[in-house]
């Protein structure tokens, strides 16, 4: 057993990031993922910089979303390609696609046809703005969705919206899609039938508005960007000290009193006694704290706050994160042997299962490298010989 989904076959017809990320998550859990690519390859193979490898043509973007997969090349616009995909659909448990609404049906794989080919198939369909509704079928990329779904209005400073640095709409859609697939697999165990799971970049961002959403829908208060400080809690954010910045999160009055004592601020004066009052006087509070924090460097304050049990931390660069022993201890880096690059390190999966050893991971595949292997497996399945795709 390489994971809890070791008996699941996933047919990944998606490209770019949202769908491939969902498929990679399922692959991390042990599923056998067959990535179906146009002969020209997933478009993200051409996204960079940086590019690496002997020929300087391997996209690190592609490497981020395609570990634990096999790659086969298929032209879905040809009869031969469609027949091959039909054969694969019959032997798969999950199909993932992120075409624009209607494209898969025009290629001959509408919902009814897929159900006819394999009644147990679970289809994960990821779109930009949803498959129906007044703007259903509208094309969507991550930054467009971040803006349209309100996320950029909450990021940055008032009057200056910013995109989240990661492609968070794509990644959230992949995460939501993967957990939808897991629920559908569970349901199939009871009913014996597959289903269609739908999500979108729009739905995935709106789905994590959380307290920003209820601020408006219940409280009637329009959330705005708060820079590096929390929209509801104070003090909770990034503060300047003698040699840079650190973050302090005092989420309750007890933690606040510890911070105040450390910084020689009176915690119980009316303007600072409760979170409601501290938030109302947040600018003044930040100023008072930064005057005190200016006396020492970040290392001093982080040590002192840790001794008090107050949540605090540095603001790390990506290289510092991957050099951090804590990150490595959590299995968040995996080593794979890439056929062109040799041993490389990839960001690892965010889940661990007690009692199960860390699984072996395979590198993101070269374009079409598994054509023969997958065809051999498919023929064995069709003749009743069984076996896995790998």
H or E segment at 36? Answer: strand 32-37
Confidence grade of residue 320 (pLDDT, cut at 50, 70, 90): very high
Average pLDDT over every residue of 326-338: 95
Q: Hey, is 71 helix, strand or coil?
A: strand
Does 170 participate in catalysis according to the annotation? yes
What residue spans in the chain does CATH classification 3.30.1540.10 cover? 236-316
Q: Closest Cα partner for 207 from 247, 179, 243? A: 179
| Tokens standing for residue 98 | 């992120």
Confidence grade of residue 231 (pLDDT, cut at 50, 70, 90): very high
Give the Cα separation of 87 and 316 in Å (integer).
48
CB 12 within 8 Å of CB 26: no
Q: Which position among 170, 283, 288, 354 bears the catalytic label?
A: 170
Chain mean pLDDT for the chain: 96
H or E segment at 114? Answer: helix 111-117
* Residue 164 pLDDT: 96
Average pLDDT over every residue of 302-320: 97
Top CATH class of 9-208+324-382 equals alpha beta
Give the Cα separation of 3 and 23 in Å (integer).
14
Give the count of beta carbons closer than 10 Å to the beta carbon of residue 106.
Answer: 12
| Percent helix, strand and coil across the chain, each to the nearest 5 | 40, 15, 45
* Residue 74 pLDDT: 97
> Within a 13 Å sphere around the CA of 352, how many CA atoms are in the beta-carbon half?
12
CATH for 236-316 is 3.30.1540.10
Confidence grade of residue 386 (pLDDT, cut at 50, 70, 90): confident
- The model carries a pTM of 0.94
* Residue 243 pLDDT: 95
At 248-296, the pLDDT tens digits run 999 999 999 999 999 999 999 999 999 999 999 999 999 999 999 999 9
Residue for token digits 């002192």? Answer: 304
Give the Cα separation of 37 and 69 in Å (integer).
12
Give the Cα separation of 231 and 212 in Å (integer).
8
* Residue 384 pLDDT: 86
CB 27 within 8 Å of CB 33: yes
At 356-374, the pLDDT tens digits run 888 899 999 999 999 999 9
* Residue 123 pLDDT: 98
% the chain with pLDDT above 90: 94
* Residue 137 pLDDT: 86
At 77-119, the pLDDT tens digits run 999 999 999 999 999 999 999 999 999 999 999 999 999 999 9
Contacting residues for 159 by C-beta, under 8 A, at least 6 apart: none
Which one-letter DSSP state was computed for residue 126?
A: E
At 204-227, the pLDDT tens digits run 999 999 999 999 999 999 999 999
* Residue 177 pLDDT: 98
Backbone angles phi, psi at 129, to 5 degrees: -130, 15
Residue 1 has pLDDT above 70, yes or no: no
Q: Hey, is 11 helix, strand or coil?
A: strand
Residue 8 has pLDDT above 60, yes or no: yes
What residue spans in the chain does CATH classification 3.40.50.10540 cover? 9-208+324-382
Give the Cα separation of 225 and 229 in Å (integer).
9
């Amino acid at each position: 057993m390489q994971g809890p989904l070791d008996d699941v076959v996933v047919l990944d017809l998606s490209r770019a990031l949202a769908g491939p990320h969902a498929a990679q998550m399922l692959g991390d859990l042990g599923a056998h993922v067959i990535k179906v690519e146009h002969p020209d390859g997933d478009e993200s193979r051409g996204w960079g910089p940086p590019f690496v490898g002997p020929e300087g043509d391997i996209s690190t973007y592609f490497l981020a979303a395609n570990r634990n997969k096999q790659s086969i090349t298929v032209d879905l616009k040809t009869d031969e390609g469609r027949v091959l995909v039909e054969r694969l659909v019959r032997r798969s448990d999950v199909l993932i696609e992120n075409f624009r609404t209607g494209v898969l049906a025009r290629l001959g794989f509408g919902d009814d046809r897929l159900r006819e080919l394999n009644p147990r198939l679970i289809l994960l369909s990821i779109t930009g703005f949803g498959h129906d509704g007044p703007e259903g079928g509208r094309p969507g990329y991550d930054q467009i969705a971040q803006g349209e779904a309100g996320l950029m209005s909450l990021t940055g400073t008032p009057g200056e919206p910013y995109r989240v640095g990661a492609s968070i709409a794509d990644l959230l859609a992949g995460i939501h899609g993967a957990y939808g697939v897991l629920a559908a697999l569970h349901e199939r165990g009871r009913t014996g039938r597959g289903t269609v799971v739908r999500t979108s970049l729009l739905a995935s961002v709106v789905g994590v508005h959380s307290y920003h959403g209820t601020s408006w829908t219940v409280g009637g208060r329009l959330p705005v960007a708060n820079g590096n400080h929390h929209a509801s809690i104070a003090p909770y954010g990034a503060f300047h000290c003698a040699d840079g910045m650190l973050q302090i999160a005092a989420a309750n009055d007890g933690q606040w009193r510890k911070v105040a004592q450390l910084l020689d601020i009176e915690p119980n004066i009316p303007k600072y006694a409760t979170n409601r009052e501290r938030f109302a006087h947040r600018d003044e509070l930040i100023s008072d704290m930064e005057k005190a924090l200016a006396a020492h460097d970040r290392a001093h304050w982080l040590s002192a706050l840790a001794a008090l049990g107050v949540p605090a931390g540095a603001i790390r660069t990506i290289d510092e994160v991957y050099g951090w022993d804590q990150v490595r201890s959590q299995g968040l880096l995996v080593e794979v042997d890439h056929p062109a690059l040799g041993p490389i390190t990839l960001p690892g999966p965010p889940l661990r299962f007690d009692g199960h050893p860390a699984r072996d991971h395979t590198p993101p595949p070269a374009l079409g490298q598994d054509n023969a292997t997958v065809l051999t497996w498919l023929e064995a399945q069709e003749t009743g010989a069984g076996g896995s795709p790998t």
